[in-house]
Amino acid sequence: MKLWAVVENGKPLQQMDLPDPEPQGSEVVLKVSHCGVCHSDLHFWKGEYNLGGGKVLRLTDRGVELPRAPGHEVLGTVVKVGPEAEGIAVGDRRIVFPWLGCGTCERCTSDQENLCDKPAAIGVVRHGGFGSHVVVPHPRYLVDFGDVDPAFAATLACSGITVYSAIRKLQPLDPERPVLLIGAGGLGHAALGMLRALGHEKTIVVDIDATKLEAAREAGATHVIDGTADNVVAQILAAAGGPVPAAMDFVNNTTTASTGLECLAKNGKLVLLGVAGGDLQLSLAGMIFRPRSIIGSATGSLGDLRAVAELARQGKLMPMPIMRMKKDDANEALEKLKSGQVTGRIVLES
Ligand SMILES: [Zn+2]
Ligand SMILES: [Zn+2]
């Protein structure tokens, strides 16, 4: 198998050749046809996260070893099945659930495998979709996508379930009430489509990039607001007709999270999803006079992936804008994402 792998953090990906994988036990090997490129792939490439207060989290401290092929929005065709793999056949095309854990702990056995303390995620701890093949430990991690465009279906494995899981955390939420979205990149677009599929029509989108705001408007955002304006909060409140009950921050830096929190109504919820990083100053008494919740959210579960694949199969989920590139241009794809030139999602095809 061929890989485009991170060999050294921050340096261009290198092409590597490894022996073709042979499935053992219940394992399944897929030939990757599509792989979305996510902001977390950029962080993986860089090798660190900003934790705020000058602290940095290094991926190597989380048990990640290099070289490693990134890519966790993987879709492909089954080419080999292990002797104990049931319910799947060579030639089947499936989305891969990448957020694997240990498989045996309380979280893993209650459909929260994405929150396992021993993560084994595909594209992080195991080789991902920037390789020609991926090995999946069990057929249960493979999800049928029917006639959905495979490039879009691939993105459901991260951006799709990430926004679905975040929207679940905002419930109960009257569908008539406005939802604030901060950041109109891949996740922001996925959220616009998902909110609409779930009946939420009123959305206010903030971004600092005019092109992305225009794309958000075309994708159905009710209001779009330039995040560089000096009265962003006032503009959001005006657009919403008052404080908002629900907000999602896809950037999650000091400025954006403060803005989101400031715009919340009493009992409003702010879900943090991005990893831009920084820290947040919080008026503690203010959290009593105007009670609000700040909720962190990381990807989603296998059940979430089955649910979003079903929404897509039923035609309820509007695809986000997709820029198709060849896998051999993986380095160029990362550079494009890094420089903010991507509206929606880049999907590598092979
Ligand atoms: Zn991702
Ligand atoms: Zn576990």
Give the integer Cα–Cα distance in Å for 334 and 29. 26
Q: Within this chain, do residues 146 and 15 fall inside the same structural domain, yes or no? A: yes
Q: Nearest ligand, CA of residue 38?
A: 1
Q: Nearest ligand, CA of residue 114?
A: 2
CA dihedral 169, 174, 178, 182 (to 10 degrees): 10
> Cα(282) to centroid of ligand 1, in Å?
28
> Cα(68) to centroid of ligand 1, in Å?
16
> Cα(67) to centroid of ligand 2, in Å?
24
Q: Within this chain, do residues 261 and 244 fall inside the same structural domain, yes or no? A: yes
Give the integer Cα–Cα distance in Å for 31 and 134. 7
Report the candidate in 281, 268, 194 with the shortest Cα–Cα distance to residue 236: 268
Which pLDDT belongs to residue 50?
81
pLDDT digits (tens, 9 = 90+) for 116-127: 999 999 999 999
Q: Nearest ligand, CA of residue 113?
A: 2
Amino acid at 339: S
CB 33 within 8 A of CB 342: no
Domain total of the chain:
2
Q: Within this chain, do residues 209 and 264 fall inside the same structural domain, yes or no? A: yes
Average pLDDT on 236-263 reads 98
> Cα(2) to centroid of ligand 2, in Å?
29
> Cα(258) to centroid of ligand 2, in Å?
33
Average pLDDT on 179-207 reads 95
| CATH code, domain with 271 | 3.40.50.720
Q: Within this chain, do residues 105 and 244 fall inside the same structural domain, yes or no? A: no
Q: How confident is the model at residue 61 (pLDDT cuts 50, 70, 90)?
A: confident
CB 97 within 8 A of CB 302: yes
Report the candidate in 62, 66, 63 with the shortest Cα–Cα distance to residue 45: 66
> Cα(40) to centroid of ligand 1, in Å?
5
Q: Within this chain, do residues 173 and 272 fall inside the same structural domain, yes or no? A: yes
Q: Nearest ligand, CA of residue 103?
A: 2
Q: Within this chain, do residues 239 and 339 fall inside the same structural domain, yes or no? A: no
Whether residue 63 has pLDDT greater than 80? no
> Cα(111) to centroid of ligand 2, in Å?
10
Q: Within this chain, do residues 257 and 321 fall inside the same structural domain, yes or no? A: no
Q: Within this chain, do residues 254 and 149 fall inside the same structural domain, yes or no? A: no
Q: Nearest ligand, CA of residue 112?
A: 2
Q: Nearest ligand, CA of residue 107?
A: 2
> Cα(42) to centroid of ligand 1, in Å?
10
> Cα(284) to centroid of ligand 1, in Å?
32
> Cα(125) to centroid of ligand 2, in Å?
14
Which pLDDT belongs to residue 52?
81
| CATH code, domain with 142 | 3.90.180.10
> Cα(110) to centroid of ligand 2, in Å?
10
Which pLDDT belongs to residue 56?
87
> Left if phi > 0, otherwise alpha if psi is -120 to 50, otherwise beta: which for 21?
beta
Of 296, 313, 332, the residue at which a domain comes to its end is: 296
Average pLDDT on 237-264 reads 98
Q: Nearest ligand, CA of residue 105?
A: 2
> Cα(156) to centroid of ligand 1, in Å?
10
Q: Within this chain, do residues 246 and 313 fall inside the same structural domain, yes or no? A: no
Which residues have C-beta under 5 Å from ligand 2, the single-atom ion?
101-102, 105, 108, 116
> Left if phi > 0, otherwise alpha if psi is -120 to 50, otherwise beta: which for 282?
beta
Q: Within this chain, do residues 116 and 25 fall inside the same structural domain, yes or no? A: yes
Of 296, 316, 336, the residue at which a domain comes to its end is: 296
Average pLDDT on 14-25 reads 97
Average pLDDT, the chain: 95
Q: Within this chain, do residues 187 and 239 fall inside the same structural domain, yes or no? A: yes
Q: Nearest ligand, CA of residue 102?
A: 2
Look up the domain containing 246 and give its range: 160-296
Q: Within this chain, do residues 249 and 292 fall inside the same structural domain, yes or no? A: yes
CB 4 within 8 A of CB 61: no
> Cα(121) to centroid of ligand 2, in Å?
11
pLDDT digits (tens, 9 = 90+) for 78-91: 999 999 999 999 99
Give the integer Cα–Cα distance in Å for 116 and 156. 20
